[in-house]
Amino acid sequence: MIKLIVGLGNPGKKYERTRHNVGFMLVDALAKKVDAGSWSRDERLGADIAKGQVSGNKIIFVKPTTFMNKSGDVARRVADFYKIEPSEMLVVADDLNLDLGRVRLRLGGSDGGHNGLKSVIENIGEDFWRMRMGIGFNENRVAEDYVLEKIPTSEMSDIERAIDRAVESLISSNIAEPKKETII
């Protein structure tokens, strides 16, 4: 059963609505949908945290206040504090290797070149759920520049639809027992 959902992103206004912050965007949308209430900053855990329920299951929503490559430190601290096993965690991240708007949910796997997922794997192992949000990739661009750009208006509706589909899928499955691998 999923008890902890960690959205990956970078803190601060500079990074809002960038491709690398779609993890934050999805966690915000899900927390809002389930009326998790307001976010509160927990300095000792290094995260903004909200708590809610889906079909009677308590869920902790987390947005690390560290930069992407330190997300695993925060995920580990939060999981340890709340006594949550890696298999009870869902980490949401952007993915250059998925087409824009495509969403994949699965247990385990590699970091796929994503520094945030790499940090989480280094801190808790591979046996956690991950939801990858497709942001596409322009091969004529440097990856680091591409992911840190603001999402163009022409792509935002695809991202928002993908987030809506992912939120509805998580709620309809009660976030309890996701299937081994799901394309949303």
Which of 3, 20, 63, 104 is flagged as catalytic? 20
Ramachandran class of 125: left when φ > 0, alpha when ψ lies in -120 to 50, beta otherwise: left
Q: What angle do CA 157, 11, 124 make, to 5 degrees?
A: 100
Backbone CA torsion sign across 142, 182, 166, 57: negative
The per-residue DSSP string of 110-134 comes to --TT-HHHHHHHHHH-S-SEEEEEE
Ramachandran class of 37: left when φ > 0, alpha when ψ lies in -120 to 50, beta otherwise: left
Residue 20 falls in the annotated catalytic set = yes
List active site positions.
20
